[in-house]
């Protein structure tokens, strides 16, 4: 059982991020091999990677989840999180970024910057992380180092400077030169002079330090250790982004990368995190921690943020950034310790629920291997097993030993899944367990949700893309032995009216015994949008006995739930019953329900019925050159452009409102239009009237489906 023999200043937490197929996992395997923790370098293509532990990952040859590993290098304890590269699995990448101080962004040298490269770089900057860029696959054909470097600086800014330069490119790539510590004789074949590169780096380093600037301009030689210390400070401020070259397959540039991360990478002591004060277990109905003292005052005056001092001897504060279902150990919760120390006997309190538990065992994870440890300190990343009701973003503390208030860390910001599919099990006996299985998958993946649509009665799952949902469905089958059918979910239209009308209906039936009789006269009128349903009893003279009035209202409500012209729920209608007839023997609640439903149908069809459709607000991020294509496509989808913004890296954000029916499969369309470089987010905006020609198509489709059912 391992013990801690390092301090917080010795820790380097690093996420490997970037676009898919940029050799992140291959680099992770190479780092482990270079540190002597693997007898041979793993291979993604051969299925021997130490990081691709899931069967789906081995089959598809790309990462789906984030995976952890750790190594020692030059006296530093390095914790690495290999994150997925495809935008379809961005949730795992964002969870990884929340647990580290540094991000190493891989860019495939023969391909260049791709969509997820931009997204991760910007998100890491927003979080204040130290950023490093690695040009991978430098041994590939068609590599142009100078073009790649220029593209990186143009896209991400002049703070991106080459800390090493390649010796040769493509098949001739055989090493790298550290520009701050070059050899006495510089090898031939460098596409960029190490002296020119050193000048770029040093000028960027000294730019924000007046003393260093003066010394540099006066021609003074600045010591290597001083330059590295200043580089570390520049990385912390976001003023310097080192760019390096490597080839994982041939182990070129890998050890040099470890040297750079060890000497210039940020430690957990460099970045202070902030939280809000909270009382353990005091959670408001909106899911937010209650203000100190249990009062919900935060709505009126937001609580002041509290800075958390990352100290080994402070109160324990940790946050869950990942969960997984281990087939042998059950649920594993991965925590990043922000402050304090954790042992197997430490009483842990989940501030969201107030529940306490002892972890019993602490693990550090190396790929698919779990190594038990006796303690973990501020900056460490550990896993605990079988801690029930512990979710991603939860804050965990030891109950507090000092006078400081409990601090709830800000929740990790995940995108909303936007690609819906309706699912139903192929076997009827699987109905009972499908929701439980989906809940376990949603526990692991914050970008996957499921819900039962109350209006359409469909079980709808939501993911980031078709590929994401395909992986979810394969896991559902392989883990939980559930086969399901899927289809595009029905759009939850609403029905309403645009004018008043009235109608009556007599329900009369004689079957040999007691008959059925009821007559109902109704008036209906439209209500303002959002007012729902209002029932008015205006019967005078007892033409309908009081004991049958509830049946009239129930008949109307049930008919409104079923819909009238399209099978969708009726809203924003006032129904007034003002007259009727009854029979002393043959009248009943059932008869009045049937009569009122029929009268409502007749009145509704004369009141200029209209369909309302859900409209969503969209923000679509695309490369600038695709802006025209995207806006033109939106116009064919009945979309309305409401704004646009420019973003760094040549990106444009298009803001629009679009009917939901037009974007249920938008993910694949946008991917095709932008060569995979576009992304979008949407949220409900409002219900709006459906154009007349579209409404007629929907009504005709519904009537034909009803006729087909009746014929069968």
SS3 365: strand
Percent of the chain with pLDDT over 70: 94
**Considering the chain, what is the average pLDDT of its residues?**
90
Pick from 237, 243, 221: which is nearest to 212 by CA? 221
Greater pLDDT, 389 or 580: 580
Res 389: pLDDT: 84
Confidence of residue 646 (pLDDT cuts 50, 70, 90): confident
**Mean pLDDT of all residues in 275-301:** 48
Confidence of residue 400 (pLDDT cuts 50, 70, 90): low
**Mean pLDDT of all residues in 110-118:** 86
Residue ranges of alpha helices (H) inside 538-644 are: 549-562, 589-606, 627-636
pTM: 0.80
**Strands 516-526 and 533-537, bridge-based pairing:** unpaired
CA distances from 121 to 272, 431, 626 (A): 20, 43, 21
Per-residue pLDDT reduced to its tens digit, 78-108: 999 999 998 889 999 999 999 999 999 999 9
Token duo for residue 624:
């600038």
Is the confidence at residue 617, as pLDDT, over 50? yes
* Distance in angstroms (rounded) separating the CA atoms of residues 323 and 510: 64
Per-residue pLDDT reduced to its tens digit, 163-215: 999 999 999 999 999 999 999 898 999 999 999 999 999 999 999 889 999 99
Res 439: pLDDT: 93
**Mean pLDDT of all residues in 339-357:** 91
Confidence of residue 2 (pLDDT cuts 50, 70, 90): low
Confidence of residue 401 (pLDDT cuts 50, 70, 90): very low
Other C-beta atoms lying within 10 Å of the C-beta of residue 354:
12
Res 649: pLDDT: 67
- Lookup result for tokens 């064919």: 636
Res 302: pLDDT: 63
Res 46: pLDDT: 76
* Distance in angstroms (rounded) separating the CA atoms of residues 442 and 450: 8
Percent of the chain with pLDDT over 90: 69
Q: What crossing angle do the helices spanning 90-97 and 115-126 adopt, rounded to 10°? A: 30
**Mean pLDDT of all residues in 604-629:** 92
Domains of the chain as residue ranges with CATH: 9-197+235-264 (3.40.50.300), 304-409 (2.40.30.10), 419-487 (3.30.70.870), 494-607 (3.30.230.10), 613-693 (3.30.70.240)
Res 593: pLDDT: 97
Beta bridge partners of 535: 575
Greater pLDDT, 656 or 208: 656
Per-residue pLDDT reduced to its tens digit, 416-460: 887 889 999 999 889 889 999 999 999 999 999 999 887 778 899
Pick from 8, 11, 6: which is nearest to 312 by CA? 8
The number of C-alpha atoms within 13 Å of 407 and in the hemisphere containing its C-beta is 23
Q: Name 193's Cβ contacts closer than 8 Å, sequence gap at least 6.
A: 165
The number of C-alpha atoms within 13 Å of 143 and in the hemisphere containing its C-beta is 24
Res 708: pLDDT: 65
Res 284: pLDDT: 38
Res 38: pLDDT: 84
Per-residue pLDDT reduced to its tens digit, 480-506: 999 999 998 988 899 999 999 999 999
Question: What number of helices (H) and strands (E) belong to the chain?
Answer: 16, 35
* Distance in angstroms (rounded) separating the CA atoms of residues 362 and 332: 10
């Amino acid at each position: 059982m391992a013990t801690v023999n390092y301090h917080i200043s010795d820790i380097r937490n690093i996420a490997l991020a970037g676009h898919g197929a940029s050799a992140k996992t291959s680099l992770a395997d190479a780092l482990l091999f270079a540190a002597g923790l693997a007898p041979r370098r793993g291979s993604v293509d051969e299925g021997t990677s130490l990081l691709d532990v899931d069967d789906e990952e081995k089959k598809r040859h790309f990462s789906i989840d984030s995976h952890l590993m750790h190594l020692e290098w030059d006296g530093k304890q390095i914790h690495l999180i290999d994150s997925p590269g495809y935008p379809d699995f961005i949730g795992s990448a964002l969870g990884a970024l929340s647990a580290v101080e540094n991000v190493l962004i891989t860019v495939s040298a023969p391909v260049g910057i791709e969509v997820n490269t931009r997204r991760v770089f910007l998100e890491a900057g927003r979080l204040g992380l130290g950023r490093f860029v690695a040009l991978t696959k430098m041994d590939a054909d068609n590599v142009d180092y100078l073009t790649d470097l220029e593209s990186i600086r143009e896209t991400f800014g002049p703070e991106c400077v080459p800390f090493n330069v390649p010796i040769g490119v493509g098949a001739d790539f055989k090493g790298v030169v550290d520009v701050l510590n070059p050899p006495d004789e510089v090898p031939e074949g460098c596409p960029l002079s190490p002296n020119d590169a050193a000048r770029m780096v040093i000028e960027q380093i000294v730019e924000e330090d007046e003393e260093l600037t003066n010394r540099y301009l006066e021609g003074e030689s600045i010591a290597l250790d001083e330059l590295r210390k200043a580089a570390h400070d520049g990385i912390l401020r976001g003023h310097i982004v080192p760019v390096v070259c490597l080839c994982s397959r041939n182990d070129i540039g890998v050890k040099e990368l470890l040297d750079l991360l060890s000497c210039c990478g940020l430690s957990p002591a460099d970045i202070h995190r902030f939280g809000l004060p909270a009382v353990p277990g005091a959670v408001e109905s909106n899911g937010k921690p209650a203000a100190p003292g249990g009062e919900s005052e935060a709505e009126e005056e937001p609580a002041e943020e509290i800075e958390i001092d990352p100290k080994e001897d402070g109160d324990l504060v940790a946050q869950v950034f990942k969960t997984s279902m281990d087939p042998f150990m059950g649920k594993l919760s991965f925590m990043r310790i922000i402050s304090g120390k954790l042992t197997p006997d430490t009483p842990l309190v989940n501030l969201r629920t107030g529940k306490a538990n002892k972890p019993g065992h602490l693990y550090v994870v190396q790929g698919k291997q779990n190594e038990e440890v006796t303690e973990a300190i501020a900056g460490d990343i550990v896993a605990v097993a079988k801690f029930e009701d512990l979710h991603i973003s939860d804050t965990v503390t030891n109950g507090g030993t000092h006078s400081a208030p409990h601090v709830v860390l800000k929740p990790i910001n995940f995108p909303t899944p936007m690609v819906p599919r309706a699912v139903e099990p192929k076997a009827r006996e699987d109905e009972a367990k499908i929701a439980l299985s989906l809940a376990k998958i949603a526990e692991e993946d914050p970008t996957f949700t499921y819900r039962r649509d109350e209006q359409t009665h469909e079980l709808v799952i939501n993911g980031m893309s078709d590929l994401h949902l395909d992986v979810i469905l394969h896991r559902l089958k392989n883990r939980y032995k559930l086969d399901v059918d899927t289809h595009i979910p029905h759009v939850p239209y609403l029905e309403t009216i645009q004018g008043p009308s009235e109608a009556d209906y007599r329900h009369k039936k004689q079957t040999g015994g007691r008959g059925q009789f009821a007559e109902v006269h109704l008036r209906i009128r439209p209500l303002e949008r959002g007012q729902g349903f209002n029932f008015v009893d205006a019967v005078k003279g007892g033409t309908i006995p009081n004991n049958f009035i509830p049946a009239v209202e129930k008949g109307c409500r049930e008919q409104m739930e079923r819909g009238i012209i399209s099978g969708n729920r009726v809203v924003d209608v006032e129904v007034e019953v003002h007259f009727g007839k009854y029979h002393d023997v043959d009248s009943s609640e059932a008869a009045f329900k049937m009569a009122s439903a029929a009268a409502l149908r007749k009145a509704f069809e004369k009141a200029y019925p209209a369909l309302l459709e859900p409209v969503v607000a969209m923000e679509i991020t695309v490369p600038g050159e695709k802006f025209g294509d995207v806006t033109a496509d939106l116009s064919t989808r009945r979309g309305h452009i409401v704004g646009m913004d420019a973003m760094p890296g040549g990106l444009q954000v298009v803001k629009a409102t679009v009917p939901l029916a037009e974007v249920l499969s938008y993910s694949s369309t946008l991917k095709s239009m932008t060569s995979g470089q576009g992304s979008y987010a949407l949220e409900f905006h409002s219900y709006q009237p459906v154009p007349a020609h579209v409404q007629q198509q929907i009504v005709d489709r519904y009537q034909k489906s009803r006729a087909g059912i009746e014929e069968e």
